[in-house]
Each structure stands twice: as C-alpha cells, then as structure tokens.
Amino acid sequence: KPQWIPYGAADQSSVLLLGLTAYHRTTGDAQIAEKMRKIGEGIMKMQLNHEGFFADGALLSWENVWHAWGNSQAHALINAGMALQDAAMIDAGVKEVRLFQPYLLAQNFIREIRFTRNGDDISAEKTVKFEQIAYDIRPMVMAALAAHQATGEQQYTDQAAQLMQWFFGKNPAGAVIYDAATGRGYDGINDAKTVNRNSGAESTIESLLALQALKQH
C-alpha cells in the first residue's frame, strides 16, 4: 500500500483530494496541484486491475479491503483529473464506475469485501452484505455523475439513477429509505428483513446530497 497517503487509507485520502480539488479550482495553486497528483497516485495504486475478475477496477479502501461506506475514491479521482487535465486519474475513476459498480448493482449492493492474493491470483476471502447505509450509496452516485461529466456518456447518468433507486425501495429489504414527505433519510438496512428507522444527521445529509446531485446534473 502507498505509505504517503494518510494512514495508508484511500477512503480518507479521497475526502482530502476532494477538498484540495475544490481549493485548487478557486486558487490555481501549483503546490496544491502537486499534492493532488501525489494523493491521486496513491489512490490509484489501491486499484484492482485484473481483467475478467469480478472486482476489476475496484479502488480498495484500506489495505486489502473494499468497503462501501465513504468510498469516494472514484469520485475524487475523476474530479481531480478533470481539474488537472490528468487522463490517468480520470481513467482510473471511470474504470471503477464502468466495471465494478454494475457488479454491485447486480448483487443488490455489498457492504464490504476482503481480498486475498496468492501469487498473481486474487480472490474474495470474505464478503459482507449488511448493513447498508446512505453513506454507502451517495459516493457511488457522485462517482457515476462525475464519470458522465468527464466522458459525456449517458450510460453513467442512467447508472447514477439506478444507484439512487436504493433509497426508494430497490434494496434487499425492499424498503424506502428516503422519506420525500419530510426530507428524512433513515439509518439504513440491517438485513434483508429489517430496517433501522432512526434518522440521524449523517443519513439525512447523505440522502439529500445524492438526490440533489442527481437532480442538478
């Protein structure tokens, strides 16, 4: 894993990269651009590149684990790549959206996957399906919309809309997680039969951010 990104964690680094990109767009600061490139390089080193493997393109979150919550790597790479005109960063982010997100949709979403390597072979050592929360889905929606912005390909906007359906009942519990009447986001799905009907600030904010991004796109 790249030692120069915070705690060797790509998920945390992606939040930093999103912030630096916003700052760079305002200031054009060359030193910030260098930091963006270095962090982006570290995130890209966490990508699985194994043609034909179900998780080809997945940007790992930490060590050998991909997890859905806060997985903003693809979104951050595409955003930074567009700001810096860095095709490699854009391509890496779009690759996860193009190859791995459709797998997650087909599986009705996954919470976490732990991978193991044996020589050149990679396999899934452990897969966890639940719980599922808004903080899992919003980063995927943002990444798909960023992929559309970078490529102009309509399929990515359509994919963002598919991902968004998780909030409206297309999830393992068949439950509506965003209450349009009140603007509340519920705290997620415990399993295929039960829903956490609490409505914390994080869940509501993540739900509204995803909805707003899709509506504005």
What pLDDT digit, counting tens, does each position of 69-111 carry?
999 999 999 999 999 999 999 999 999 999 999 999 999 999 9
CATH code of residue 90: 1.50.10.10
Kindly state the tokens that stand for 146: 């960023």
Q: Is residue 113, in this structure, part of any structural domain at all?
A: yes
Mean pLDDT of 155-165: 99
Q: For the segment 24-82, what is each residue's pLDDT rounded down to a tens digit?
A: 999 999 999 999 999 999 999 999 999 999 999 999 999 999 999 999 999 999 999 99
> Over pLDDT 90: what percentage of the chain?
97
Q: 82-110: string of b/e by CB count within 10 Å (b at 16+)?
A: bbbebeebbbbbbbbbbbbbeebbeeebb
143 part of a folded domain:
yes
Report yes or no on 56 lying in a domain: yes
- Residue 201 domain flag: yes
Domain extent at residue 146: 6-216
User: Is the predicted pLDDT of residue 1 greater than 90, yes or no?
Assistant: no
Is residue 139 predicted with pLDDT exceeding 90? yes
Is the pLDDT reported for residue 7 higher than 90?
no
The total of structural domains in the chain comes to: 1
Structural domain contains residue 153:
yes
Per-residue pLDDT band for 151 (boundaries 50, 70, 90) equals very high
What integer pLDDT is reported at residue 6 of this predicted model?
Answer: 87
Confidence band (pLDDT; 50, 70, 90) for 205? very high
Structure tokens at 15: 């939040």
- Residue 37 maps to a domain: yes
Q: CB-side exposure of 68: number of CA atoms within 13 Å?
A: 26
Average confidence score pLDDT of the chain: 98
pLDDT at position 171 is: 99
Cα dist from 180 to 107, 204, 207, 208, whole Å: 26, 11, 10, 10
Is a pLDDT exceeding 90 seen at residue 120?
A: no
* pLDDT value for 110: 99
- Does 1 reside within a domain? no
Distance (Å, whole) CA 96 – CA 37:
19
With a pLDDT cut of 70, the percent of the chain lying above it is 100
Q: What is the pLDDT of residue 51?
A: 96
Return the H-helix or E-strand segment holding 114. strand 112-118
